[in-house]
Structure 1
């Protein structure tokens, strides 16, 4: 263990150095569009959520992680202003029914979203269009004094209201192109406010002196009442957050997790080395196959019984043909030779030469002394046959 102290110290120094470098390294800007009130990144809505205290002074402001249907039917907090700031708004039939019932009772609904789809948009007869090429746009609020132009750059598409129900709709804002982008719709005793410039309510523009008043003035159309701020469309229900996603979002938790994993690995390495019993080294048995082959070959060579050696090679070849090609080898005639040549694809002339030689050797008596040249020729043909077939 003493000999490992130097390496442990080096490893610990490397870990500390890496941690310090990561800690002091400039963090890259996160340009994701979350519009969540927990995010202080450019396109989060932390600043907008804090702005509500000034827009609605002395009023209760709560953040909801429930679907609109559950928020309005299962809680006591179902009066006042309901605010949505999200990328896309596509409420289903149940949410649409409860939201419009909420408005009809004299409450107000404010939704800032790039697009509106689904039953909610169909019921209010609002449809959005988009200009994907013109990212930069200028918008103006019509009913605020003389009005003021606000210049924005959209990270997505430049949206506008393509069609509206003009009987119940009042246009509150238009873009320089003349297309409406902020409207108020009368519904029962309340109103629905729709704005397609959702990123105008992000930290990036709310904290910019040139555009900060836009979000404030839009929200100022709402009466001073308690506020329900929706986070369900962006964060989901409470408890739906993935544990590892939460860990990775916070640098301190992320590094604590990495250090814990590294500590466990180091512990396993050194503890297993201390506690594991020494395993004796067992020398494997030597492979004497080559020596055995040399001895057997020497016996045949010294005896000079080339005929017996040839018969053994022939028997091995015929056994191979039986198991590989399922052919009978008890009769080696011209039909058998032609059939083997077709089945293996080997040269017909060499196939005929090989098996005619086999037939000739097998027909010789046991006392017949085969020449060394004949044995070598047979061996060469058999080896060439094996090399071709086993490719």
Structure 2
């Protein structure tokens, strides 16, 4: 090895050593991602709550790491239990919703705390959740209990909070347990229910719904808001609790060895250094031994042909419902990707923003969104509805194209 090669290797080694020292010694940034996982000690994790949950449980706290449909098939329901869900959003499919409803009708309790909910079971409770999209994480809110004896446990949440409330409830079967009060643009108080109980079945089953999952995070439990969280959980009957650890934004998912490596700081940097060293080796070694690179024709993109074939197959079999569902999904993805809009709530606020960002009229935007909502509410669809949906989407997206 000549002198120049040795100097180059020394310089590369010094740079790598400096990078390692800098990475190891730099302070870690505080992780503010939504988690709600029992294992996470970050501000928006639920490590503290989970370790105190036995206070409210009759016996050992059970942990569900699977979907509701899978987990409840193996659970003994001869004794009543409370199933606890806490996450920023909670979404249940048709089978999961049916399982939840059957579980409650047997005399059990389902506790849900989230900013917004989806699922047939929640639709059958006749409740509507509305999110306050303005001033997220900034607008302070006063959370109060309706019971006069619990007023001392009311709390004002000043930060790290997203405000949601129930805009519609079934007054015949629903009991309001708590409210949230915020200031409107004119500095007047606006009060809405945000903590309710819905009776289900004839065996004392119930859904308890709450729209402030932030109250149960490590951040607020260490910020003098623990009495509020404890009071909310005190409405659970004294029975065994099942803690959901599956429907979590911070759920640990490891699907490949590479993902595990990249999630571990030490292994990640070892991987990067190895790749960097390998590239340098190839560059320097290739100057002497590289052969003429043969021309390889670019592979043809068969995605369009494949998509066309699958679409024709659905169409020939008259599966219009499947095609409509996919067209709606692709359109909403188009909106999220091009206009950076949240498509979870297709309300009036969403329609106004979509009309402005897409350069369409408000009437066109409302007509299309109303038609999407109408189609999503149906279980079976016709060819004419598919044609009409396609026309409306093509007319609406012509501004983008």
TM-score normalised by length of structure 1: 0.61
Equivalent in the alignment of 1:127: 128
Gapped runs of 5+ residues in structure 1? 280-391
Shift of 1:271: 6.6
SS in 2 for 1:72: helix
Equivalent in the alignment of 2:146: 142
Number of paired residues? Answer: 274
1:241 & 1:193 partners in 2: Cα distance? 34
2:167 counterpart (162, 165, 170): 162
2:273 & 2:290 partners in 1: Cα distance? 30
1:226 counterpart (240, 252, 266): 240
Shift of 1:141: 2.4
Cα distance 1:239–1:167, how it changes in 2: closer, same or farther (>3 A)? Answer: same
Indicate conservation of the 8 Å contact 1:59/1:225, yes or no: no
Indicate conservation of the 8 Å contact 1:47/1:206, yes or no: yes
Shift of 1:164: 1.4
Higher CA-based Rg:
1
Q: Once the two structures are superposed, what CA deviation does each residue of 1:253-288 show, in whole Å capped at 9, x if it has no partner?
A: 322322332343355467768xx6699xxxxxxxxx
Q: For 1:1-391, what aligned pairs fall within 5 Å after superposition?
A: 1=1, 3=3, 4-56=5-57, 58-62=59-63, 64-73=64-73, 75-76=74-75, 80-133=81-134, 135-143=139-147, 145-147=149-151, 148-153=153-158, 157-176=162-181, 177-188=190-201, 189=203, 190-208=205-223, 210-234=224-248, 241=255, 244-266=258-280, 268=282
SS in 2 for 1:145: helix
Q: RMSD of aligned C-alpha atoms?
A: 3.1
SS in 1 for 2:156: strand
Q: Once the two structures are superposed, what CA deviation does each residue of 1:274-314 show, in whole Å capped at 9, x if it has no partner?
A: xx6699xxxxxxxxxxxxxxxxxxxxxxxxxxxxxxxxxxx
Cα distance 1:245–1:150, how it changes in 2: closer, same or farther (>3 A)? Answer: farther
Shift of 1:182: 0.8
Moved more, 140-149 or 103-112: 140-149
Q: Once the two structures are superposed, what CA deviation does each residue of 1:113-143 show, in whole Å capped at 9, x if it has no partner?
A: 1112331222111111233336210101234
Moved more, 46-55 or 212-221: 46-55
Gapped runs of 5+ residues in structure 2? 182-189, 292-401
TM-score normalised by length of structure 2: 0.60
